[in-house]
Structure 1
Amino acid sequence: MSEAMLTPAVGEVPSVMAEDRARAALVGALQRPRYEVLPLAATADQVQEHVPTHIPITVTASPRRGIEPTLALAETLAGLGFAVVPHLAARLFADESQLAETLHRLDEAGVRNAFVVGGDSELPVGDFPDAVTLLAAMQRLRSDSGRGHCLDQVGIAGYPEGHPLVSDEKLSESLAEKQSLATYVVTQMCFDPKVVSRWVSQVRRIGVRLPVYVGVAGKIDSRKLMEVSARIGIGGSARFLRKHRHAWARLLLPGAYRPDRLVRELVSELAEPSRGVVGLHVYTLGAVASTERWRQQALDRLTGDGDR
């Protein structure tokens, strides 16, 4: 990562103070990003080997495998000293009893943060068709002294490029509805910083004041990244890349994708407190080691001593 990462955004008055603020924001974001990992057999060993314990680890949920692998990995990583954030996918829960049992397990493991999504299952297995119904049930359980839980933080999803199955209007309504039941928002992976910036402005206009973690891809094999992007419906980013053929060409070279440019162009969001963009959420997509190497190298270039 070069000094160019500190170039002020268009329209920003260049100054030593602005550059210092940008550098500080960038260093802070790289020192403590959130890493999202997959609930696979090898993940715990990969995280333990490559990632320092001060990096929060979020664990996704698979519609094919159910919630158990997510919980098991969360318990393992918590036992290794990581701050863990399991994904609680609403459509994978049968009923409130299963939810209460899950929250109790997380309490026992010392987990204090969870991320609630509707989930990718076509049909719910039980009583919770979407995130808001699960969040409401969690709120009821928290109010119930006999079955309360100790989660301090609850995250919800934001979609800067929309959702293939949900209208933008409905997404905005849903985000506003969930605001009182959550403490922060994580955005879906996006490659276009202008889209992210417009989305942040939009949600602030409708009164959503929750802090935002911006979702970016880690240091991932380019072809795998394209496959994942197509699967989760990152349409705007695909259109952005089509308009910039040089970006497509670079991205399709084996191992060519790096998060540097996107992170650089997000500096103006990270450096402006009024925007409420508080950090990076890095989708590792199985590439834990290469993503952590990239982070350390980026910090080395900015601070001279990495994250040590």
Structure 2
Amino acid sequence: MTSDHTTRTSADLLVGASLEMTGKDAPGLLEAAGLLAPGTRVNVTYLGTEDDALRLDGVRAVLGQGLVPVPHIAARRQHSAEGLAGYCRALAEAGAITELLVVGGDPTSPEGPFPDALSLIRSGVLAQHGARGVAVTGYPDGHPAISSEALWSALEAKVSEVAAQGLDASVITQFGFDATTVLAWLEQVRARGIEVPVRVGVPGPAGVKRLLGYARRFGVGTSTSILRKYGLSMANLVSTAGPDRFVADLADQYDPARHGDVALHFYTFGGLRATAQWIQETRR
């Protein structure tokens, strides 16, 4: 595969960017909606502290603003196959089953019949209720509890299973702080024959202390050199950091011939308006 690399800008890479929210973030979405382009994808998470009613409220809030909801489904949080089918029916009735993200979920032990995302996808329930596209997770920084070999095997199996069911597969990565690590991981993805679209996880603008807290929670690499490269100041934890440098580095080094179809996905950490405003101002 030859490379015809044309340097891109941060604004170029932001075309089609997606964001993430929880069910409780619905009021914040109202503040941010006017800053988002119609049709913007907004992922609605599947937190253990929320119930299906709250998740559906979030989905309906996204639809109500002319945006596209991408509901998450956490495999290990499903208490039964019947419960999963009921949630899928509710999403279908709301007009929000077309695109989904399937994750394993936080519990170390499954609360029902699905030990991981692959087993839930293999059940066929998603396609039966009208899903057309299913995204799965990727981990450029690795995972503290899962070996690299197991992560690659799982990614290949999930993408293959989604495609085998005639659905559109894609990958959404965990957020990170080092563009070089992300791009190297993308090259490995393509070298393994995984050619589906990838949305690179990006931390939205947030307080340094908050960012570091989420990074520790999700096992994201946070060495001093990486944090400094990103622009985080350990000496000033009350300051706010945006993804300007990370996105600029990603855009500068991104080569479609090597890295494939790539877009950005923003983890907003409750700051929907701040993230939407950052995207709008950067695109300008």
1:297 corresponds in structure 2 to 281
Counterpart of 2:200 in 1: which secondary structure?
strand
> How many matched pairs?
274
How far apart are 1:27 and its partner, in Å?
3.0
How far apart are 1:259 and its partner, in Å?
0.8
Higher-Rg member (1/2): 1
Give 1:46's aligned amino acid.
Answer: E
1:174 corresponds in structure 2 to 154
- CA distance in 2 between counterparts of 1:248 and 1:44 reads 27
How far apart are 1:293 and its partner, in Å?
1.5
- CA distance in 1 between counterparts of 2:225 and 2:189 reads 22
- Among 33, 42, 57, which residue is 2:42 paired with? 57
How far apart are 1:246 and its partner, in Å?
9.1
When the two chains are superposed, the root-mean-square deviation of aligned CA atoms in Å is 2.5
Closer/same/farther in 2, CA of residues 224 and 287 from structure 1, 3 Å limit: same
How far apart are 1:92 and its partner, in Å?
1.5
1:188 corresponds in structure 2 to 174
Matched, 1:262 2:250: no
Aligned-residue identity in percent: 30
Structure with greater contact order relative to length (CA < 8 Å, sep ≥ 6): 2
- CA distance in 2 between counterparts of 1:251 and 1:191 reads 18
2:142 corresponds in structure 1 to 162
Given that residues 36 and 58 in structure 1 are in contact (C-alpha distance below 8 angstroms), is that contact kept between their aligned partners in structure 2? Answer: yes
How far apart are 1:271 and its partner, in Å?
4.6
How far apart are 1:205 and its partner, in Å?
2.2
- Among 218, 226, 239, which residue is 2:204 paired with? 218
Measured against aligned partners, the alpha-carbon deviations of 1:186-239 in whole angstroms (never above 9, x if no partner) come to 1100010111111112222222222111001111122111111111111x2335
Counterpart of 1:128 in 2: which secondary structure?
coil
Counterpart of 2:108 in 1: which secondary structure?
coil
Counterpart of 2:38 in 1: which secondary structure?
coil
1:3 corresponds in structure 2 to none
Closer/same/farther in 2, CA of residues 43 and 241 from structure 1, 3 Å limit: same
Given that residues 214 and 277 in structure 1 are in contact (C-alpha distance below 8 angstroms), is that contact kept between their aligned partners in structure 2? Answer: no
Give 1:280's aligned amino acid.
Answer: L
TM-score (norm 2): 0.86
2:6 corresponds in structure 1 to 18
Q: Unaligned stretches of 5+ in structure 2? A: 163-168
How far apart are 1:29 and its partner, in Å?
3.0
- CA distance in 2 between counterparts of 1:72 and 1:140 reads 22
Given that residues 251 and 257 in structure 1 are in contact (C-alpha distance below 8 angstroms), is that contact kept between their aligned partners in structure 2? Answer: no
- Among 65, 68, 71, which residue is 1:83 paired with? 68
- CA distance in 2 between counterparts of 1:286 and 1:74 reads 16
The equivalences for 1:61-140 within 5 A come to 61-111=46-96, 112-137=98-123, 139=124
The equivalences for 1:138-153 within 5 A come to 139=124, 142=127, 148-153=128-133
After superposing the two structures, state which structure 1 stretch, 158-167 or 38-47, moved more.
Answer: 38-47
1:34 corresponds in structure 2 to 18
Measured against aligned partners, the alpha-carbon deviations of 1:132-176 in whole angstroms (never above 9, x if no partner) come to 011111x2563xxxxx22222110000011111111110000001
Matched, 1:199 2:199: no
